[in-house]
Chains A and B, each alone.
Chain A
């Protein structure tokens, strides 16, 4: 479904050039959940945005990317924009502050010339567990968790095959996170979606994904199955350190932490 080979992303030019992603390759099967794990600056979000075609004017993207047998060019096709959707991290920034929920949901439907727009909007809201009373509210009138649900609803309106998830629950309270993760899992099962999930939280990735790649400094350190992750079965010291750290505070273990520099 998704095939990436030798992806390179460079921000800026000449002296100021910053190599955010180096020679990244990954493959995602249809209906699979693929995790991209890493700390900040690892390049995981950049990979997602490169795939989404959102780095147009800000970076130089090179390498081979193909989605559902369509090789991706400089500009994404209309079919791509319908087939691939994204849910962003910040529930406060990913909805236009002056648009009502109805406008936000109707827009993608209108852009792609879908029929029965009003019905689709109402159905999408129901799908994510929000009732009709939310339809004409503004983003600042609903909670963070509800905003993320609207983001998910927006991603579903075009009936996509692939949903890119950029830290979808990092900004949410733990109890709300559980609800949103459950929602995402249910939708995936119901619609046979393919997910690419970016997160710094190993527990979330272990819960949601079947396969994952660990990234550091723009490169993939290791690709493993979730079973390997849960068994702490890794040969790479970086991954092992990440796993140890995700278990919580352990004074002894911390002294053994290494700096994984450039």
Chain B
């Protein structure tokens, strides 16, 4: 496996023109993604979801995406035509979102949806699609794949729904998965089980993962590298194992204000927002 990055993002900007003025959702975000699990953590409004969507060209209408570089597999995603973008979405870069209730089609069986995801990117027969679908359902550790194949989305639990989403997104064999709060709607034990499935698949296939979440602890324990975002910019970048030694006051503030199972029971440290953090910076350090 070569060591060149799967995805290169340089100086990404996402700007919205609203009746009340310009809103800069993402202001100059840069990072490379290799065959690793990269976590992007931030609070609401930090721009983390917007970053994920901009990569796939899924920014809401009205948003303008600019970047010095947005490159995947040698393709410049900013200037690619619709056909190339369609090929990249799903086949190159795939996305898993928060609530399977809203991302799975409620009137189609699970099996049919996954097959569809497969057939969009390949010319195989339906029989082959079915075989692959069942295989993928097994790979995400669903115990009775034939039964789930025939089921409708509302008949499966949240955790299973997310595993189905993972299966669906893995079918066209992408190189990168962008997961936007994929487990936030799930119970904590189910969360971890779903992440274990994702973890195994990513390692087996040598894929890259961008994991977007607000849960600092989860990202620190799950990912390899972390980007901390605030106000549309990257405040700090560090290895997950070294999070406790983070230097940026915002990161430290976030770490300190979390209630801990083993922590003291006095007042939690409150994050003091320094307006300096919102100023546009040069690089990501």
Contacts and interface: CB of A to CB of B under 8 A. Distances in A.
Direct contact of A and B (CB under 8 A): yes
24 contacts: A144-B44, A173-B43, A173-B44, A174-B216, A174-B257, A174-B258, A175-B257, A178-B257, A178-B258, A178-B269, A181-B259, A181-B268, A182-B267, A185-B267, A202-B261, A203-B261, A206-B259, A207-B265, A246-B188, A247-B221, A248-B221, A249-B222, A250-B221, A254-B196
A241 B189 contact: yes
A245 B188 contact: yes
Categorize the interface residue count of chain A: 35 or more
A181 B262 CA distance: 17
B187 A174 contact: no
B218 A175 contact: no
Nearest to A229: B261
B192 interface: yes
Closest 7 CB pairs of A and B: A248-B221, A178-B257, A207-B259, A39-B187, A249-B221, A175-B271, A249-B222
B201 interface: no
Contacts of B188: 39, 200, 242, 245-246
Interface residues of B, number: 34
Contacts of B191: 245
Contacts of A179: 270
Interface string A193-207: 000000011111011
Contacts of A177: 257, 259
B262 to A, nearest CB: 6
Given A182-B270, A204-B259, A241-B189, 19 more contacts: A39-B188, A174-B216, A174-B258, A175-B43, A175-B270, A177-B259, A201-B259, A206-B260, A206-B261, A207-B259, A246-B261, A247-B261, A248-B217, A248-B220, A248-B221, A251-B199, A254-B193, A254-B196, A257-B193
Contacts, number: 97
B195 interface: yes
A248 B191 CA distance: 10
B188 to A, nearest CB: 5
A21 to B, nearest CB: 18
A140 interface: no
A40 interface: yes
B48 interface: no
B253 interface: yes
Contact of B270 (A178, A204, A255): A178
Nearest to B45: A173
Interface of A: 39-40, 144, 173-175, 177-179, 181-182, 185-186, 200-204, 206-208, 229-230, 241-243, 245-251, 254-255, 257
Contact of A174 (B199, B221, B254, B261): B254
B203 to A, nearest CB: 10
A140 to B, nearest CB: 14
B61 interface: no
B189 A242 contact: yes
Nearest to B223: A249
A239 B254 CA distance: 27
A40 B187 contact: yes
Contact of B192 (A182, A229, A245): A245
A251 B267 contact: no
A178 B261 CA distance: 14
B260 A174 contact: no
Interface string B211-240: 000101110111000000000000000000
Nearest to A39: B187
Contacts of B192: 245, 249-250, 254, 257
